[in-house]
Amino acid sequence: MKKLTIEEEITRFHEITFVNKSTLNENLLDKVRNLFNKNKVDDPKKADFVTDDVDDFFKTIEDASNTDGLKQGEKGGTNYQKEVEAMQIGLKLLDPSVLPKHGIDGLFGSETAAAVKSFVEKNMEEKKPINEVQLSSPIGDTSVNSPYGPRWGRQHHGVDLKANSGTPIKSPLDGEVIDAEIRANACGGTIYIQHADGLKSRYCHCKQINVRKGQLVKKGEIIGLTGGGQGDPGKGRSDGPHLHFELYKNGTTVDPMQYLGSEVGEFTGTGSKLNYDASPEMLKKLLELLKTRGVKSEEL
């Protein structure tokens, strides 16, 4: 038996249901054709709402930019999913590395949030001045579980560095300890060090503290041990072993990743609870760069 095409299946279903073939809405049929016959940049089974019409693609992003933007985790209707999908395709066209092959799905999850954050950092944020002397990682080779910036509707003032409980913490620069105590608060086991050039570093969830207030420490000196695990003293408000690391410049928190060397890898979003929305400004910038680059229908 000959296998029917999608169009033939829909027409047959319509005839059985409504008897009169003439009532089939050609407009609807065109939309269905677009859904199943378009050529996608990653996987044609994933993008369901954006067609190969470049002008419509640009308009979809523009429409999203004229609202409150796109919110991570929001469960919108077809139009919202189309806008998210258009944003995902745009991000992937500008930087193929930011989303996995199956990232074009109209769902604004943590991977898309990481891609949005990466886009903002590369194309919109002014780089803060970097200290002439780079800090060394306080726990050596590691990666970021949760980055600096907006998280769960509030500001995350530091970075969460991946570490097993009991990992030695080393001072990233010479300095003077200005706080060293295990407390029953969110930070828990706390170490705070004053460095030169208006820099201060702060460490939370330490299960062991090896220094005292007023002590001078050298770069690379072990100041304590990481904690954060169940049963660890100084756990604070932690849901698992890691080091919460904050950096201050002239009294204001800054992103430690702009000061750390290559020992700390980039944030990937894997396994994280990153929350990062796409603002109207971000979407306008995305649209501007896509128009400058140029987009072909076969890329959609």
Report if residue 85 sits inside a domain. yes
Q: Could you tell me if 154 and 235 lie in one domain? A: yes
Count: domains in the chain: 2
Closest CA to 70 of 298, 286, 223: 286
The answer to whether 176 and 193 are in contact (CB under 8 A) is: yes
Q: What is the mean pLDDT of residues 78-100?
A: 90
**pLDDT score of 14 more than 60:** no
Closest CA to 268 of 92, 115, 63, 58: 115
Residue 283: per-residue pLDDT: 95
**pLDDT score of 36 more than 90:** no
Q: What is the mean pLDDT of the chain?
A: 81
Q: Could you tell me if 283 and 247 lie in one domain? A: no
What share of the chain in percent tops pLDDT 90?
A: 45
At residue 130 the predicted structure's pLDDT band, cuts being 50, 70 and 90, is: very low
Report if residue 132 sits inside a domain. no
Report if residue 250 sits inside a domain. yes
Between 38-42, 159-163, 197-201, the lowest mean confidence (pLDDT) is in 38-42
Q: Could you tell me if 67 and 111 lie in one domain? A: yes
At residue 17 the predicted structure's pLDDT band, cuts being 50, 70 and 90, is: low
Q: What is the mean pLDDT of residues 70-80?
A: 84
Report if residue 67 sits inside a domain. yes
Q: Could you tell me if 112 and 150 lie in one domain? A: no
Q: What is the mean pLDDT of residues 148-168?
A: 89
Q: Could you tell me if 24 and 70 lie in one domain? A: yes
Q: Could you tell me if 187 and 231 lie in one domain? A: yes
Closest CA to 290 of 74, 127, 88, 35: 88
3-state secondary structure of 158: strand
Report if residue 272 sits inside a domain. no
What is the tens place of the pLDDT at every residue in 224-281?
999 999 999 999 999 899 999 999 988 899 888 888 865 666 554 444 445 678 889 9
Residue 28: per-residue pLDDT: 56
Please state, in angstroms and rounded to a whole number, the distance separating the CA atoms of residues 117 and 150.
10
Do strands 242-249 and 252-254 pair parallel, antiparallel, or not at all (unpaired)?
antiparallel
Q: Which range has highest mean pLDDT (28-32, 221-225, 250-254)?
A: 221-225
Q: Could you tell me if 32 and 121 lie in one domain? A: yes
Q: Could you tell me if 18 and 95 lie in one domain? A: yes
At residue 108 the predicted structure's pLDDT band, cuts being 50, 70 and 90, is: confident
User: Which residues, 6+ apart, have CB-to-CB distance to 129 below 8 Å?
Assistant: none
Q: Could you tell me if 88 and 171 lie in one domain? A: no
Report if residue 104 sits inside a domain. yes
CA distances from 89 to 36, 41, 174 (A): 17, 7, 46
Burial of 153 (0-12, 13-18, 19+ CB in 10 A): exposed
Residue 110's identity, in one-letter code, is: S
Q: Which domain holds residue 289?
A: 7-125+277-299
Q: Could you tell me if 286 and 207 lie in one domain? A: no
Please state, in angstroms and rounded to a whole number, the distance separating the CA atoms of residues 65 and 3.
43
Q: Could you tell me if 167 and 230 lie in one domain? A: yes
Report if residue 223 sits inside a domain. yes
Report if residue 53 sits inside a domain. yes
pTM value? 0.49
Q: Could you tell me if 107 and 156 lie in one domain? A: no
Residue 122: per-residue pLDDT: 85
**pLDDT score of 38 more than 60:** no
- CATH value at residue 168: 2.70.70.10
